[in-house]
Amino acid sequence: MTGVLAAAGNPDAALVTWFDKEKNQHWPEDVGPDTEEFKRWRFYGIHHGGRLEIHVNDGQYIMMYS
């Protein structure tokens, strides 16, 4: 569903990174551990073309699209 929302604004949108707060998991996994101030998955997304961040259920899931 979030892909459909992202594609509505840009048909070439691609998922760059995601975060699952409940499981404390993110992709890519190998970017290192997060700290309270510095979320490495978000840094990765921004520096790899991420421009649209979609939050689901008050941030339980976050997806970043190019």
For 43-66, the pLDDT digits (tens) are 899 999 999 999 999 999 999 998
4-56 residue pLDDT tens: 656 666 788 899 999 999 998 889 887 766 777 778 888 899 999 999 999 99
Q: What Cα–Cα distance (Å) separates residue 36 from each residue in 7, 10, 12, 16, 48?
A: 31, 31, 32, 21, 22
How is the chain split into domains, by residue range? 2-65
Tell me the pTM: 0.76
Residue 36: HSE in the Cβ half-sphere, 13 Å Cα cutoff: 0
Tell me the H-state helices in 1-66.
2-9, 40-46
- The CATH label, of 1.10.10, 3.30.1490, 3.30.429, 3.40.50, for the domain at 2-65 is 3.30.1490
pLDDT at 64: 94
Give the pair of three-digit tokens for residue 54: 């979609």
